[in-house]
């Protein structure tokens, strides 16, 4: 999970469990285009939510609790392309949050590249961002204070695992070195057992005349 998303979850006034993979696929099929990677990751972790000040990210599908991304995307907004756009949230009553293909916005870039932005239908103002993170952090104050939270825990566990792996590697190396050092002594011992030393012969007694 990306660190910025951990902070976003902490900032949520109201958040919901992520949408199932089946639901994400149905949304893409319903609108005939793939979700941008960042937006897909977001909805896989959190199916919409509410944030201060006055920011609402829609459910993926409309339900009794509120509007949905699929249904809102089907309604065009003046000043935005009719296709190649996902509308996923609202700030206040006029700032519509969206993701759009760069080509649909008349911008240079690969066909699969996306930009994120907000379109104010009252003033006509349009603001674009390179990523979902950049857009949301502009609209939602990030949670800076963190006790022993998810991000800290993950980082700490990574350090512990690396230290344990290093210790194991050193133990294996030492054991292998000790094993190699003991082999010559064992071989010499075995050799001495296989060929015992011959007893010295007694000198022959001289015969008396």
- pLDDT tens-place string over residues 6-44: 888 888 888 889 999 999 999 999 999 999 999 999 999
Q: 100 versus 64: which is more confidently predicted?
A: 100
So what's the pLDDT on residue 26? 97
Same domain, 44 and 130: yes
What angle (nearest 5°) sits at the alpha carbon of residue 113, between those of residues 115 and 125?
Answer: 20
**Residue 58 placed within a domain:** yes
Same domain, 59 and 113: yes
Same domain, 86 and 161: no
pLDDT digits (tens, 9 = 90+) for 95-140: 999 999 999 998 987 767 999 999 999 999 999 999 999 999 899 8
Same domain, 66 and 150: no
**Residue 181 placed within a domain:** no
pTM: 0.66
DSSP state letters, the chain: --HHHHHHHHHEEEEEEPPPHHHHHHHHHHHTSPPPHHHHHHHHHEEEEEETTTEEEPBSS-BTTB-BHHHHHTS--TTS-SSSEEEEEEETTTEEEEEEETTTTT--S-TT-EEEEEEETTT--EEEESSHHHHHHHHS------SS-HHHHHHHHHHHHHHHHHHHHHHHHHHHHHHHHHHHHHHHHHHHHHSPPPPPPPPPPPPP-
Same domain, 157 and 71: no
Same domain, 84 and 9: yes
**Residue 90 placed within a domain:** yes
So what's the pLDDT on residue 154? 45
So what's the pLDDT on residue 148? 42
Q: Is the peptide bond before 53 cis (omega within 30 degrees of 0)?
A: yes
Same domain, 59 and 110: yes
Total domains, the chain: 2
Question: Is pLDDT above 80 for 203?
Answer: no
Question: Is pLDDT above 80 for 2?
Answer: no
| Residue ranges making up the domain that contains 156 | 145-174
pLDDT digits (tens, 9 = 90+) for 149-192: 444 544 554 455 566 767 766 777 777 777 777 665 554 555 55
Same domain, 153 and 126: no
Same domain, 69 and 157: no
Question: Is pLDDT above 50 for 141?
Answer: yes
């Amino acid at each position: 999970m990306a660190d910025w998303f951990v902070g976003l979850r902490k900032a949520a006034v109201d958040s919901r469990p992520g949408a199932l993979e089946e639901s994400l696929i149905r949304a893409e099929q319903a609108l005939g285009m793939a979700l941008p990677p960042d937006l897909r990751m977001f909805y896989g972790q959190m199916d919409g939510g509410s944030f201060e000040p006055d920011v609402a990210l829609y459910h993926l599908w409309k339900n009794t609790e509120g509007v949905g991304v699929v249904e809102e995307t089907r309604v065009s907004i003046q000043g935005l392309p009719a296709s190649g756009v996902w509308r996923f949230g609202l700030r206040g009553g006029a700032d519509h949050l969206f993701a759009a293909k760069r080509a649909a916005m008349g911008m240079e870039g690969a066909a699969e590249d996306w930009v994120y932005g907000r379109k104010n239908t009252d003033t006509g103002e349009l603001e674009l961002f390179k990523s979902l993170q950049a857009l949301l952090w502009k609209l939602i104050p990030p949670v800076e204070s963190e006790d022993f939270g998810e991000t800290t825990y993950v980082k700490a566990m990574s350090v512990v695992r690396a230290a344990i792996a290093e210790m194991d590697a050193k133990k294996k190396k030492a054991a292998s070195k000790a094993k190699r050092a003991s082999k010559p002594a064992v071989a010499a011992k075995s050799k001495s057992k296989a060929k015992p030393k011959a007893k010295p012969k007694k000198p022959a007694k001289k015969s008396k005349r």
